[in-house]
């Protein structure tokens, strides 16, 4: 049994390494994905462009302005003087948000009256918009708390000069400290997820393609008349891609650590082991696809049909918690979801088996089901 598997494996490797296109296909897409998700896809709002419309022009309004520029998150790109200019700045995308300080801002605050600062946010990109709004909101809130404290102090001092009256005002502030990804880099969130993505791409598509290709050129028929057992043929055709998938895991991990400085807090061996669990599912799906496709185009389309929703509903890019409840339940059917959770858990949280066992169990059940389903369909028959 093992001998035949070895013979098929050797043949696959010879073919894969001899074909320049194949060599490229095995290692370039992982690298491209890594670079795209590591460098290009950046959801962090670092230097949001804002327009500053100051209708008050007082030391107070300037001090608020300083807080914005001093935060490092905002660049003030223009100072519109009229409504028309505000409109234009937003329309042309020169500014992502406009802050408007109303006339009488300093006067009202000095009198202890509430006053409002308007933030106009360009909501075209909802993600950026909500980040900008919340950053701006927190700066204004901080400013307001400071203002209150100062006024309280002034009141206390003026009311009882010289006395040691407590000037403290009770207040509750939220001090949030972010764990696992303290700087909230989206890169830390994306790069580990690329591992899941790449394994799925490489194994699902290449497995299906390599089997269907043999159907197309007629060698599958030739293999079927040999005494090779279906299980030997299956293993021989899938193991090479399992190896490639694992090599890609190593490759992506090394680049993630060295180039992107993503922390790997958990065990690399556990990561590899979980990758094997996930491989069972994606290889099984690839095999299944090969049993229902007659041509390479069909296999290709089929793999997109499977991988696109699997990718969307995996939590890789879009948080599962933000999805409609029904869709959230649907994601439990998605093997990629579990693997993404595992990969992020191991990389960022240093999670171990004690935490990740439910996901690992889900992947195991999934893998065994999909593999045996495909094995049942994978027969040495043409009809």
Please report, as ranges, the residues that interact with another protein according to CB under 8 A: 3-4, 6-8, 11, 14-15, 18-19, 217-219, 221-228, 380-383
- For 332, counting Cβ atoms within 10 Å of its Cβ (0-12 exposed, 13-18 middle, 19+ buried), the class is exposed
Nearer to another protein, 4 or 349 (CB): 4
**Token reading at 374:** 């495909």
Q: Which is nearer to another protein, 7 or 333 (CB)?
A: 7
Distance from the first to the final alpha carbon of the chain: 26
Nearest distance from C-beta of residue 202 to another protein, angstroms: 20
Q: How many CA atoms lie within 13 A of 66 on its CB side?
A: 7
Q: How far is the CB of 375 from another protein (least distance, A)?
A: 16
Query: Nearest distance from residue 28's CB to another protein, in Å?
Result: 20
As given in the structure block, the two tokens for residue 121 are 């946010």
Contact 346, 264 (CB under 8 A): yes
Three-state SS at 52: strand
**Of 178, 174, 144, residue with least CA distance to 44:** 178
Nearer to another protein, 63 or 222 (CB): 222
| Smaller CB separation from another protein, 110 or 228 | 228
Alpha-carbon span 314 to 261, nearest angstrom: 24
Cα atoms found within 13 Å of the Cα of residue 196, Cβ hemisphere only = 32
Q: What sign has the CA pseudo-torsion 104, 105, 111, 115?
A: positive
102 vs 230 by CB, closer to another protein: 230
Question: Shortest distance, CB of residue 294 to another protein, whole angstroms?
Answer: 14
The minimum distance between CB 201 and another protein, in angstroms, equals 23
DSSP 8-state secondary structure symbol assigned to residue 218: T
Which one, 211 or 342, has the nearer CB to another protein?
A: 211
CB of 376 to another protein, least distance (A): 16
């Amino acid at each position: 049994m093992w001998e035949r598997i070895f013979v098929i494996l050797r043949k696959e490797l010879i073919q894969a390494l001899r074909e320049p296109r194949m060599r490229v296909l095995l290692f370039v897409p992982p690298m491209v994905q890594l670079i795209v998700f590591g460098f290009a896809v950046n959801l962090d709002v670092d230097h949001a462009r804002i327009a500053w419309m100051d209708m008050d022009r007082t030391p107070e309004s300037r001090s608020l302005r300083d807080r914005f520029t001093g935060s490092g998150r905002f660049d003030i790109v223009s100072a519109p003087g009229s409504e028309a200019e505000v409109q234009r700045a937003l329309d042309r995308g020169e500014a992502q948000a406009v802050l408007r300080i109303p006339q009488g801002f300093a006067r009202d605050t000095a009198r202890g009256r509430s006053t409002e600062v308007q933030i106009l946010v360009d909501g075209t990109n909802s993600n950026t918009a909500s980040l900008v709004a919340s950053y701006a909101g927190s700066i204004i809130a901080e400013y307001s708390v400071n203002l209150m404290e100062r006024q309280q102090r002034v009141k206390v001092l003026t009311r009882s000069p010289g006395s040691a009256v407590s000037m403290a005002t009770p207040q509750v502030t939220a001090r949030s400290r972010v764990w696992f990804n303290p700087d909230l880099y989206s890169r830390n969130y994306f790069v580990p997820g690329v591992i899941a993505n790449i394994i799925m791409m490489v194994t699902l598509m290449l497995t299906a393609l390599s089997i269907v290709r043999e159907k197309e050129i007629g060698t599958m028929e030739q293999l079927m008349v040999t005494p090779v057992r279906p299980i030997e043929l299956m293993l021989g055709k899938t193991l090479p891609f399992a190896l490639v998938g694992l090599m890609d895991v190593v490759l992506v991990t090394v680049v993630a650590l060295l180039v992107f400085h993503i922390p790997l807090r958990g065990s690399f061996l556990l990561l590899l082991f979980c990758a094997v669990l996930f491989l069972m599912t994606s290889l099984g799906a690839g095999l299944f696809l090969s049993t229902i496709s007659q041509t390479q185009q069909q296999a290709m389309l089929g793999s997109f049909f499977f991988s696109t929703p699997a990718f969307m509903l995996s939590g890789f890019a879009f948080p599962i918690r933000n999805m409609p409840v029904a869709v959230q339940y649907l994601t439990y059917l998605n093997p990629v979801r579990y693997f993404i959770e595992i990969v992020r858990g191991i990389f960022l949280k240093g999670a171990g088996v004690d935490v990740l066992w439910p996901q690992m169990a889900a992947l195991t059940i999934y893998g065994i089901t999909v593999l045996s389903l495909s094995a049942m369909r994978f027969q040495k028959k043409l009809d």
